Structure formats: structure tokens, C-alpha cells
Chain A
Amino acid sequence: MSYVAQRLLTFPLILLGVSILVFVAIRMIPGDAITAMLGTEAGLLTPAQRASLAAYFGIDQPVTTQYFRWAAGLLHGDLGISATYGKPVLQIILDRFPLTLELALLSMLIALLTGIPLGVLAATRNERPSDLMVRILAMLGQSTPSFVLGLLIIYLLSVWFGIVPTMGTFTPLNVDPLANLGQMIFPAITLGFAFAASVTRISRSAMLDVLSDDYIRTARSKGASQRSVVWGHALPNALIPVVTLSGVEFGYLLGGAVIVEQVFALPGLGRLVLDAISQRDYALVQGTVLFIAMNFLIVNLIVDLLYVVLDPRIRLGGK
């Protein structure tokens, strides 16, 4: 099972690279941390006070020492304390994460439930009107930025129904599922539209490739029906690129949809980063960015392992 072993070994390697990158990037943000933390009050500090604060936060140490301290903290789930919220970074992230996760899951559900059937349909009616319709729709979906679609949805809702879906406080799923869904459905549609377009396009082209493969002809020569050929023989072979794409998109969505959260005023991970950057809350930026990148890596690790289920050639070692 060298494939699985290889994936499992490269995962921590890339995670290490990601943590170094995040650490270095944060250190490169101009202005020193103490000024950033205390704002104008920092000007009142005596050099001695400054030095003691620096010692307290450990920023008087060499950069490598700082990194190892930070990394050691990470292993215990210690991402530091946010200067703006005065709370542990991890706690803030975990408060925001459910919303982001829900949004990502809803979007993916929309994308897969519409994208795969549409893609398969288009591939089996290659070059016919229904294929053309699907392709135009997918092309539009891929070309519409989320903020354009989001604003349009908000506008149409307010003009047609007189509702403003966004403003006001966010209701978590466990408090009032219906109210929550009402708030989440439009952002999810906004995100899911482009996602569905990508899924449609990739399922279509993967199906077109697979349908011209030799084993499809074999299945037909056995007398298999069109339905069994398409869903039983072709689709399982066409799923790998669909799974890859969905994994990448979902992984990115778990990092929060910065723009859509901004448009619909949702307190997710994306807005957390945006706010943290504008408030120069280094510990929060650092922790959140790392968390987001890790989510992406974990999702992609799961996708890599899914290949093992989907493709016996990977599972059993190909020639």
C-alpha cells in the first residue's frame, strides 16, 4: 500500500511547510507586534516596559526559537491569545467554524446534486440541444463572480419580496434550524452556483472521455442497456476527476468564503481573517490562516484516500 503510505507521509511534510510559511509571513507584516497590540498606547511605554513585554510574548528570542515555541504550542492546540478578543484563538475559530462548515456542506450538496446529473445528461446527449443548454448554463455559472450573484440575489429578494435576507444577527443551526436555513440558503446558492458549474463541466468532459473507452463498447456488445452503460460502467470511471475537483473546492470553502460572507454579513472564518488582518491581530491571523490551510490539506488527504476506494488500480497497485 505504498500509495497510502506516501500520502500519509507527505501530509505532515506539507503541513510543516504551511506552518513555516504562515509564521514567516506574519513576521513580515510591517510594524512591531507590541505597537500593533496596544495601538497608540504603545507610545507611552518606556524602553524597559517594552523590553519586558517583548520578553513576556517571547519576541525577544531568535526567530527560530519563536517558531519552535509556537509550533510546540500548536501541538497542544495552543494557537495563542487574540489581542482584540482577549480569548484563545482556537476558541474563536471553533466558534466560527460551524457556520463555515455548514455553508461549505450546503454548497457542495447543491453542486453535486445538480452538477453530476447535468454533466452526465449533457455527455450522453453530446452536441444536442439539451447538451448545449447545460453547457451555456455551466459557462455562465463559471463566469459569474460570487459577489455579483450574491448582490443580485439580495437585490431581487428585496425588490420582489421586500426581504433583506442578511442583515441582523446570525442564528446558529442548533438554535433555530429553520431560521438558520433561511439565512444560509442564499449564500449557499451563491457559492453553489459556480461550484455546480465546475462539477457539471468536469463530469461532462470526464463522461465524454469514458464513453469513448473500449470497455464501454464491450459492455454494449454484451447487450447492456444505455442506463446500465452510463450509470454502471461509465460513471464509476468518470468519478475520479469529479471527486478531485469537489475535494479542492470544498477544501477551499472550509477556509471560509471571504467575499460571500462579506456580502451576506455572515460571521464565518473568512470574515474573521479579514477583520483580523485589518485589526493587525497577529495571533488571530496566524492561527486562522493555519487552521484554514490545514482544513484544506485534511480534505485533500481524504480525497486521496477516496481514490483508493474508487480505483482498484490504485488500491491494488497498477502495472
Chain B
Amino acid sequence: MMRLLAALFRHPSGRIGAAIILVYLVAALLGALGLTPHNALKQFPLDRLKPPNATYWLGTDLLGRDTFSRLMLGIGQSFVVAFASVAGATLAGTVIGLLAAWWGSLWDGVLMRIMDVLLAFPAILLALLIIAIVGPGTFTSVAAIAIVYTPIFARVVRGPALSLKRRDFVDAARTFGSSERYILTRHLLLNLVAPLTVQVTLALAWALLTEAGLSFLGLGTQPPAPSLGLMLSESKNLMQHAPWLMFFPGLTIMVGILGFNLTGDALRDILDPRTERRTA
């Protein structure tokens, strides 16, 4: 683990990605502890639509709320949804993909066809449908995004699991009489950690994107709680007068996604056995 982090900080773009994630995590943590420059929910009626200045670093919105403080809370909100939903999708997808590969034949067919059915819906549409059933909110966003990305994890796990299953070391384990559980955990899962790490990082980027998209449509986090997507959609009609209201939340979302994408790519470089061979 430490070796991986060290390698990440040696990687030129991984360093940038990891730094972005770190800064965002700190911002989210401070926001959660209430350590924002201003109260993010408080309205300052006299300071409506202020452009960025010394008091309000990134300006204020129509209700006179501090953009910077709201961004800090918004990042926290996005991260909670992204991490929770990706954790759910990773768990469910890994179990489904692993068992489909291990049991094979009929189980494989049934499980993966169910995944195919889920994949037939565009992510936002599936999320919309789930939100229509359960009603919008943080938990719904988490559940919706988790369900959307479960089939992707199932596919990501199933492919390598199938090839691991045919590897000689699994055959060797069978000749010793190792238990299924031992083979599944030590021989399959342990070797899937690397591809899963990459996939989790990239999925966090998509989850951030989807969460912001849902909030943008008004179907994610509900006001008055600050969320990046919502801030952006509120800015739409004010962009001529207060472009900072659009610019900063947009930039925050983009850089956050960039951070995870850069890290994911770097991890892929680091963990890919082929890169070892290329540099060898």
C-alpha cells in the first residue's frame, strides 16, 4: 500500500492527480467540521451577487451565500455520494463477476445477462428511473449510481477472473485439494486487486460526474444543502451577470474528476504488468 502511494507520487501525472484528491479531501473534511470561511448556508442579504473579493473569495450567489464555503460543502457532498456508491458497486459487481466466472456455464449466463439488461440503460436514465421510484435525495443518488456501475464492475472482474481460473496455479491448488474459498480469495481475488484498484479510481471519476449531473437536473442533493451540480444549474440564468457562479463550480467539478482520472491512469501504468516488461 505504501509502496503503491510512493510509486504514485513518483509518476508524473499520478502526482498531480493524487495532490488534487488530497486537496479536495482536506476541503471536504474542513467543510464537514464547519471550518469554512463563512457559514455556507447563511444568507448575507446585503452582499448578493458579489464578484470575488477579499471577503468572499469566490463571490456570492443570488441569496448572498459565500460560494467558496458552499463549494467546500459541495465537494464533501459529492465525495460522500461518490465513495459510497462506488463502494457498493465494487462490492456487488466483484461478487457477481467472481461467482459468474467461477461457477461458469448456466450461472455465468444468467448473471451476466442480467448485467447486460442493466447495461442497456444509459446511466442517467437508469438513475432517473430509480429516483422516480424512491424519490430524490442523497441516499437515492448513492443507490442509483451504485446500481448503474455494478454491471461494469461485474464485467471488469469476470474477464480476468475467467483467465485466472484457467491459470496453472489454480490447477495446482486443485491438485493439493485446496478449498474453493481458499482458491477464490487467495488465488483469484488477490490477483484482482490491481485491476480493481484502477477501476475503483476511474469509477470514482464517473460517480462524481453522474452525481453532479443528477444534482444539475435537480434530482440529486436537494436544496438548501450545497451541491456542485445544483450550484451550476442555479447559475445558468445568471451567467451574464455573475459568471463566477458558473465558472467556479464548473471548474471544481472538472478538476475533481480530472484528479481521479489522472490517478486512475497512473495506477494503471504502475500496476500493469506490461509496463514492467516494457521498461525491463
The answer to whether A151 and B232 have CB atoms under 8 Å apart is yes
- Looking at the assembled complex, report how far the CB atom of A159 sits from the nearest CB atom of chain B, in whole angstroms: 8
The answer to whether A143 and B254 have CB atoms under 8 Å apart is yes
Question: In whole angstroms, how far apart are the Cα atoms of A273 and B121 in the complex?
Answer: 13
- Residues 57-71 of chain B: 1 if any A CB is under 8 Å from the residue's CB, otherwise 0? 000000000000000
B212 part of interface (Cβ distance < 8 Å): yes
Task: Report A-chain residues with C-beta under 8 Å of the C-beta of B33.
Answer: none
- Residues 141-181 of chain A: 1 if any B CB is under 8 Å from the residue's CB, otherwise 0? 01111111001101100110000000000000000000000
Q: B254-271: which have CB < 8 Å to A?
A: 254-255, 257-258, 261-262, 265
Q: A266-288: which have CB < 8 Å to B?
A: 270, 273-274, 277, 285
Nearest B residue to A136 by beta-carbon distance?
B13
- Residues 185-200 of chain A: 1 if any B CB is under 8 Å from the residue's CB, otherwise 0? 0000000000000000
Which one of A13, A143, A259, A270 has the highest number of Cβ atoms from chain B below 10 Å of its Cβ?
Answer: A143
Task: Report A-chain residues with C-beta under 8 Å of the C-beta of B135.
Answer: 30
Interface size of A by CB at 8 A reads 43
Task: Report B-chain residues with C-beta under 8 Å of the C-beta of A216.
Answer: none
Nearest A residue to B256 by beta-carbon distance?
A143
The answer to whether B132 and A151 have CB atoms under 8 Å apart is no
User: Given contacts A145-B253, A145-B254, is CB(A289)–CB(B129) below 8 Å?
Assistant: yes
Nearest B residue to A24 by beta-carbon distance?
B133
The answer to whether A277 and B113 have CB atoms under 8 Å apart is no
A258 part of interface (Cβ distance < 8 Å): yes
B250 part of interface (Cβ distance < 8 Å): yes
A75 part of interface (Cβ distance < 8 Å): no
Task: Report A-chain residues with C-beta under 8 Å of the C-beta of B255.
Answer: 143
A106 part of interface (Cβ distance < 8 Å): no
User: Given contacts A30-B133, A259-B217, A274-B217, is CB(A151)–CB(B236) below 8 Å?
Assistant: yes
- Residues 120-154 of chain B: 1 if any A CB is under 8 Å from the residue's CB, otherwise 0? 11111100111111010000000000000000000
B239 part of interface (Cβ distance < 8 Å): yes
User: Given contacts A151-B236, A259-B213, is CB(A25)–CB(B128) below 8 Å?
Assistant: no
Residues of A within 8 A of B (CB): 10, 13-14, 17-18, 21, 25, 28-30, 139-140, 142-148, 151-152, 154-155, 158-159, 252, 255-256, 258-259, 262-263, 270, 273-274, 277, 285, 289, 292-294, 296-297
Additional A-B contacts beyond A158-B239, A292-B121 (6; CB < 8 A) = A14-B113, A140-B258, A151-B236, A273-B128, A277-B131, A292-B122
30 A–B contacts from the bound complex (CB under 8 Å):
A17-B114, A17-B116, A18-B120, A28-B133, A29-B132, A30-B133, A139-B262, A142-B261, A143-B258, A144-B254, A144-B257, A145-B213, A145-B250, A145-B253, A147-B229, A147-B232, A148-B253, A151-B232, A152-B246, A155-B239, A158-B239, A158-B240, A252-B123, A256-B122, A259-B213, A262-B217, A277-B132, A292-B121, A296-B121, A297-B120
